[in-house]
Structure 1
Amino acid sequence: MNAVTFVRATGVALSLLLAAGTAAARSDDPPPDTICTVLGTAARYLDTTVTVRGVAATEGKVTTLTDTQCKGTVSLSMDDDLGRKRDVASFRRTVTEKGVRADATVFGRFKATGDAHAPYAIDVYSVRDVNELPAAEGG
């Protein structure tokens, strides 16, 4: 009877380890794409959801996400309905109302705007890993 109990306990323990490993693997988010990659193959990304990292800033009424590597820029559209989401509302306050530049990972739908000056935009669904940048960086 002790051997049977040991085998059952071992089986349960192994099952729990496998389940925990699978759950941990699923929770790992893939690394974000660069704005340079998305813009370089824009047709591939149109009307899909993207996860990109860059520096967000607001000038006038336009918030953009930029990448200094390729000098790429994408407009960010943060619709008022999404303003109820804490991460988007906090991000919007940081870069628009406070006027702070922030390094951030943005998740949203990549789309064409039809505007020659800013041909692409991201409808922002969520934002994570926001780090305010000192004013001295890039001015």
Structure 2
Amino acid sequence: MINFNYETDFNLDNEEAIAFWLSAVIISEKKKEGEINYIFCDDEYLHKINVEYLNHDTLTDVISFDYTMGNEISGDVFISVERVKDNAGDFNVSFEDELKRVLVHGMLHYCGYKDKGEAEELIMRNKEDEKIALFHVEQ
């Protein structure tokens, strides 16, 4: 089950379509869907989590806590809407496209993909592009 929670004044317009797409991503990776919570927040909220749980005193767009057991994907994905907006401007893409990238990024971590080195980052970016393309097909 994919849940969307809001700790800021942002709301997804298309929760059902996003949930359907993320479920398709899980299936495409031959995984099972457990409980996945997306929590949309602001920079301050996510910065506190970054400092408290990861000991990183920086702003970030997404933090995911992975509770996956075996083949069943579960976890909490915290997304700073402020960072996504800023990053969309920095990367010259729409807010919606950058949001999809961040939404699927957390899910891909649960599927076993990492992004710590250059080679892993390249694989992650390619997987993000592949899964974002599914959004248009699934609609």
TM-score bracket, normalised by the shorter chain, equals under 0.3
Normalized per residue, which structure has more strand?
1
Normalized per residue, which structure has more helix?
2
Q: TM-score, normalised by structure 2?
A: 0.25
